[in-house]
Amino acid sequence: MDQDTLNLLIAVGLPTVVVATLGTLLVRRGRGRGDRTGTTPTQAPEKPTTPTPPTTGQGGTAPAPSAPPAPIDVADVPGAQAPEATPDDVAELEQPPVLEVPAPVAGRLTRLRDRLSRSGSPLGTRLLQVLSRDHLTEDDWDELEETLLLADVGAGPSTEIVDALRTRVRVEGLREPAHVKALLREQLLAIVDPSLDRSLGTTPSTAEDGSTLPAVVLVVGVNGTGKTTTVGKLARVLVAEGRSVVLGAADTFRAAAADQLETWGSRVGVRTVRSDRDGADPASVAFDAARTGRTEGVDVVLVDTAGRLQNKAGLMDELGKITRVLTREAPLSEVLLVLDATTGQNGLNQARVFAEVAGVTGIVLTKLDGTAKGGIVVAVQRELGVPVKLVGLGEGPDDLAPFDPEAFVDGILQG
């Protein structure tokens, strides 16, 4: 109801109360129609301070007011800028990623012993079954030797163990299972040889000018043995011991090797030195890693290498060049050969080539969470003349442990 209608009703003589009631009813009726048509009533806009004169025309009436404009997206307007980030937004973006905390190194091999126990330890169980018989025949001793051979202990060590057991059982007359188990443990521990030095050469040295030189560890091995993963896990072992580390991605021939290594390092805050292009000179990357480690004063530089085994001459040339270049920055303190424990005796042929070419100082046995091939520890030490220093116990990031001969033998004999 407009103002002219109200004035007319008042002039006719209707009371003000009646006029107000009629206006209210008309307003409600209009709202009800709007609801039935599906429209939503909107709040009336505020009156402008300066009235806008109506547009004159034939009827002298003003056009209906237009709908309010839709909000404008900043992205649709050329040259427009989005609102600046708040200080809280900037602080959130600048926060460093949360680093993982590697598990303590002490006691890691206990997990292997537990796994061997849960799986029944076929090697230890079969040996004890044979030795616990009341009377051991020649067939029993042959079965015992066959069990050791199937466990990849090797022909020579297997014969030594069987001969020593035959002598002790005959001379001492052992028949009790507990005595037989103690005797078997003694023989296995002797053949694994706990007297070997299994410490890692990861202690920095001092140069002639008094500067600190990082310990450089070169990791070699055939592709497929878990070499790059082992380097990443070894970095976690060193970080857990409080060492500072730099990784060198010198495996430039495998497409994802550098990315994989960089991912391992970033999880524990370790820097990775790599090339920007595939197929770069591995020796150059190794040199850059050693120089970075020396410049930044880190404790250990771990260098991952390619695992191609095309021919002995090519491997010798490549690893020889890497070694020569590395020693210009820091002495080479350790050369670790990564072997897959499940390959057994077949892997020893390739291991011999690396041992001759690279001057291997220690063995890393991966995938040693199985039980049937545990004897490869003995075989590889006898064949290459170097100790097993690290063992991979599974696929977890912290499933790499220093090799403990006693814990290993106890794990085999738990069943």
Consult the annotation and say whether 203 binds a ligand: no
Q: Which residue has the higher pLDDT, 371 or 172?
A: 172
Consult the annotation and say whether 225 binds a ligand: yes
Is residue 314 one of the residues assigned to a domain? Answer: yes
- Check whether 84 has a pLDDT greater than 80: no
Map residue 212 onto helix, strand or coil: strand
Average pLDDT, stretch 111-140?
71
CATH number of the domain encompassing residue 303: 3.40.50.300
* pLDDT digit string, tens, across residues 190-199: 988 999 999 9
Query: How high is the pLDDT of residue 368?
Result: 76
Average pLDDT, stretch 260-265?
95
CA distances from 350 to 313, 318, 368, 374 (A): 14, 16, 18, 19
Is residue 90 one of the residues assigned to a domain? Answer: no
CATH number of the domain encompassing residue 131: 1.20.120.140
Consult the annotation and say whether 233 binds a ligand: no
Domain match, 212 and 254 both: yes
Consult the annotation and say whether 369 binds a ligand: yes
- Check whether 379 has a pLDDT greater than 80: yes
Q: What confidence tier does 6 reach under pLDDT thresholds 50, 70, 90?
A: low
Consult the annotation and say whether 31 binds a ligand: no
Domain boundary among 192, 213, 232: 192
Q: Which residue has the higher pLDDT, 165 or 361?
A: 361
Domain match, 299 and 180 both: no
Is residue 287 one of the residues assigned to a domain? Answer: yes
Average pLDDT, stretch 200-217?
91
Q: Which of 120-129, 139-148, 230-239, 376-385 has the lowest mean pLDDT?
A: 120-129
Domain match, 383 and 300 both: yes
Q: Which residue has the higher pLDDT, 40 or 286?
A: 286
Domain boundary among 161, 192, 223: 192
Is residue 114 one of the residues assigned to a domain? Answer: no
Q: Which residue has the higher pLDDT, 321 or 415?
A: 321
Consult the annotation and say whether 221 binds a ligand: yes
Q: What confidence tier does 118 reach under pLDDT thresholds 50, 70, 90?
A: low
Domain match, 269 and 242 both: yes
Domain match, 178 and 250 both: no
- Check whether 384 has a pLDDT greater than 90: no
Q: Which of 211-220, 223-232, 264-273 has the lowest mean pLDDT?
A: 223-232
Consult the annotation and say whether 304 binds a ligand: yes
Query: How high is the pLDDT of residue 268?
Result: 94
Domain match, 165 and 291 both: no
Domain match, 132 and 218 both: no
Query: How high is the pLDDT of residue 235?
Result: 96
Average pLDDT, stretch 141-145?
88
Query: Domain total for the chain?
Result: 3
The residue range of the domain holding 20 is 3-28
Query: How high is the pLDDT of residue 295?
Result: 93
- In the chain, pLDDT over 70 holds for what percent of residues? 70
- Check whether 8 has a pLDDT greater than 50: yes
Q: What confidence tier does 241 reach under pLDDT thresholds 50, 70, 90?
A: very high
Domain match, 279 and 382 both: yes
Consult the annotation and say whether 367 binds a ligand: yes
Is residue 98 one of the residues assigned to a domain? Answer: no
Domain match, 284 and 330 both: yes
Domain boundary among 136, 163, 192: 192
Consult the annotation and say whether 226 binds a ligand: yes
Distant-in-sequence, close-in-space partners of 255: CB < 8 Å, separation ≥ 6: 278
Query: How high is the pLDDT of residue 96?
Result: 59
Query: How high is the pLDDT of residue 57?
Result: 43
Q: Determine phi and psi for 340, rounding to 5 degrees.
A: -85, 115
Q: Check residue 413 and give left, alpha or beta (phi > 0: left; psi -120 to 50: alpha).
A: alpha
Average pLDDT, stretch 364-391?
81
Q: Determine phi and psi for 267, rounding to 5 degrees.
A: -65, -25
Q: What confidence tier does 35 reach under pLDDT thresholds 50, 70, 90?
A: very low
Instruction: Give how far the C-alpha of residue 44 lies from the chain's centroid of Cα atoms, to the nearest Å.
Output: 63
C-alpha angle 31-33-36 in degrees, rounded to nearest 5: 115
Q: What confidence tier does 315 reach under pLDDT thresholds 50, 70, 90?
A: confident
Domain match, 287 and 399 both: yes
The overall average pLDDT reported for the chain is 77
| H-helix segments, 103-137 | 109-119, 122-131
Pairing of strands 388-392, 400-402: antiparallel
Consult the annotation and say whether 227 binds a ligand: yes
Consult the annotation and say whether 307 binds a ligand: yes
Domain match, 156 and 235 both: no
Is residue 69 one of the residues assigned to a domain? Answer: no
**Cα 80 to Cα 160: distance, rounded to the nearest angstrom:** 85
Is residue 157 one of the residues assigned to a domain? Answer: yes
CB atoms within 10 A of CB 358: 24
Q: What confidence tier does 37 reach under pLDDT thresholds 50, 70, 90?
A: very low
Domain match, 319 and 380 both: yes
Is residue 284 one of the residues assigned to a domain? Answer: yes
CB atoms within 10 A of CB 47: 7
Consult the annotation and say whether 272 binds a ligand: no
